[in-house]
Amino acid sequence: MALLRVEQLTKSFGETRVLKGIDFEMESGEVLSIIGSSGSGKTTLLRCLNFLETADGGSIYVDEKPIFNAEDPSLMTPKAIRHNRINFGLVFQSFNLFPQYTVLQNLTLAAMMKAKEETSDYSKQKRAINAALDKQALKLLERIGLSEKMDAYPCELSGGQQQRVAIARALMLTPRILCFDEPTSALDPELTKEVLHVIKDLKTAGNTMIVVTHEMDFARNVSDKVIFMAKGIIEESGTPEEIFESPKSPLLKSFLKQ
């Protein structure tokens, strides 16, 4: 059974049709890389999955439960969206850490607010909840090798460190599927390595991930499945071997030659 199933997803901005019917599915624990030239709709697809954009048509299922359906308004209420979007996490190209909070606070803030909303006697349990969240955050920081930076502010970190913190921040909410939009394209090669290393570790730990990337080596070596997008459709998809060793579509061939 597929963990994520996307059917006939379409999205236009005004007259421009950016997604023209996207279909794919992925299993739990899989890593899916999305490649394609600039403007092919990769970011838009991720933003639709994360409800930052509302698709015009199609549907999205997680565990075969519909979490988005363009025809079903009951899934489109702000409450339903807030509930359903936590299936996904998103790591941005530009990190977007909260500058006024320390690394530790960046990790715990959203989870703390969620606990506050969902726990009826929050004021009584506040201490216990916060201690548990701090512990969870420290564990994640240890995993990304930034324990000693827990009290630093984002501006005191390198780009690579900031991106690793952003990854940990997304993981705090234990999303079913973690999405990355060109997580390393704002970084120089040395820092790119450390971020990709963290993503590889997450794969080993069994996380399900969708990674939009221009790092062809990463797509080839780390992912289980690769999607090549062109002009708003999935032009070709398959295993890394199929995509990189025996590409069929002329568009993909010329894309790989660049």
Partner 1 sequence: METFFSVTAKLAQGFGTTLSLFFLTLLFAIPLGLLFACLSRLRIRLFRFLMRAFIYIIRGTPLLLQLMIVVYLPGIVFDRPLTKWEIFHQNVPLAYFCGALFAFVINYACYFAEIFRGGIENIPKGQYEACEVLGMSKTQAFFRVILLQVIRNIVAPMSNEVVTLVKDTALARTVSVVEIYFAASEILRLQFIIWPLFYTGAFYLAFSALVTLLFGLLEKRLSRYWR
Ligand X SMILES: Nc1ncnc2c1ncn2[C@@H]1O[C@H](COP(=O)(O)OP(=O)(O)OP(=O)(O)O)[C@@H](O)[C@H]1O
- 90 membership: H or E segment, kind and range: strand 88-91
Q: Which is nearer to ligand X, 46 or 111 (CB)?
A: 46
**13 lines the binding site for ligand X (CB under 6 A):** yes
Work out how close the CB of 93 gets to Mg ion at its nearest, in angstroms, rounded to a whole number. 7
Q: End-to-end alpha-carbon separation of the chain, Å?
A: 37
Residues 49-88 that bind ligand X (CB under 6 A): none
Q: Which is nearer to partner 1, 85 or 149 (CB)?
A: 85
Residues 6+ apart with CB under 8 A from 37: 230, 255
Length of the chain: 258
Work out how close the CB of 200 gets to ligand X at its nearest, in angstroms, rounded to a whole number. 22
Tally the C-alpha atoms within 13 A of residue 179's C-alpha that lie toward its C-beta: 23
Q: Which is nearer to ligand X, 40 or 208 (CB)?
A: 40
Q: Which is nearer to ligand X, 14 or 250 (CB)?
A: 14
How far apart are alpha carbons 78 and 158 in whole angstroms? Answer: 36
CB-based closest residue to ligand X: 43
Pick from 30, 41, 178, 222 the residue near ligand X by CB under 6 A.
Answer: 41
Work out how close the CB of 53 gets to Mg ion at its nearest, in angstroms, rounded to a whole number. 12
CB-based closest residue to Mg ion: 43
Work out how close the CB of 33 gets to ligand X at its nearest, in angstroms, rounded to a whole number. 13
Q: How far is CA 86 from the centre of its chain?
A: 11
**What Rg do the C-alpha atoms of the chain give, in angstroms?**
19
Work out how close the CB of 215 gets to ligand X at its nearest, in angstroms, rounded to a whole number. 13
Q: Which is nearer to partner 1, 51 or 244 (CB)?
A: 51
How far apart are alpha carbons 180 and 240 in whole angstroms? Answer: 18
Of 36-44, 144-152, 164-172, 220-228, the window that binds ligand X (rule: CB under 6 A) is 36-44
Residues 6+ apart with CB under 8 A from 137: 104, 107, 108, 150, 168, 172
Of 40-48, 69-77, 80-88, 196-204, the window that binds ligand X (rule: CB under 6 A) is 40-48
**Which is it for strands 31-36 and 65-69: parallel, antiparallel or unpaired?**
unpaired
Residue with tokens 């900031």: 162
- State the number of binding residues for ligand X (CB under 6 A): 11
How far apart are alpha carbons 242 and 207 in whole angstroms? Answer: 23
Work out how close the CB of 148 gets to Mg ion at its nearest, in angstroms, rounded to a whole number. 33
The footprint of ligand X (CB under 6 A) covers 13, 16, 18, 36, 38-44
